[in-house]
Chain A
Amino acid sequence: MAFDPSGRFLAIGTPQGLVKVLDMKKGAQTHEFKGHRGSIKQIYFNPDYQKYQIISISEEGTIKIFDLVANA
């Protein structure tokens, strides 16, 4: 789990390998990404607040970067 620098969006990595993004202000899910095969171990937001990107690391050893703006 990780918050974006503004504290509005929360990224969650699930044991099924999904990355879910919640808008904490609205209390609803805004984005969902799949691509990992294994459970997600670590998840981070890009510290640059202008780039809404999520970096996720999974059990199988892959690192994926998901862009929130491109998938809006």
Chain B
Amino acid sequence: MAFGTLSKYWKTSYEMPAIYTGGRIMFSMKKKQIFSISNFTIFIFDYETKETIKKITHVSILRRKKNNLKKNLKENEEISNFTFNQQENILVTFTKNYLVRTIDMQTYDTIKTIKVYNFYKNTKSKLILKKKAFR
């Protein structure tokens, strides 16, 4: 039997998408799902059916809403980290522009968005400054 030439193209029986390139990976024991981050997108992957259930990205949501957004805004909305609570009902994402988004793990809708300051908010020094301003 000669192996020199390719005689047939074989059909791919199963293809798995790239779901992990490093960073955080979490396992949901209740839902039997894997949560991973790749290319600023959270991939939710069922480890029984081997299917990607959901992709969560905030950049595409913004793109759909407004087409003429500035490039830097799109880059800032990239997810840098994520986690979910022990009850496995709330997923939280943290974006590069310091926004914390709370997502319902049943419906995958954003419930709440919280702005976090990227500097040390020294409240004591601010109070002193305010007092001085009023003198």
Contacts and interface: CB of A to CB of B under 8 A. Distances in A.
B81 interface: yes
B94 A7 contact: no
Given A18-B120, A29-B116, A32-B120, A24 B83 contact: no
Interface string A1-36: 111010100101010101010101001110010100
A1 B121 CA distance: 19
Given A3-B84, A24-B102, A16 B94 contact: no
Q: How large is the interface on A (under 10, 10 to 19, 20 to 34, 35 or more residues)?
A: 10 to 19
Interface of A: 1-3, 5, 7, 10, 12, 14, 16, 18, 20, 22, 24, 27-29, 32, 34
30 contacts: A1-B81, A1-B83, A1-B92, A1-B94, A2-B83, A3-B83, A3-B84, A3-B92, A10-B92, A10-B100, A12-B81, A12-B94, A12-B100, A12-B116, A14-B98, A14-B116, A14-B118, A16-B118, A16-B120, A18-B120, A20-B116, A20-B117, A22-B100, A22-B114, A22-B116, A24-B92, A24-B112, A27-B114, A29-B117, A29-B121
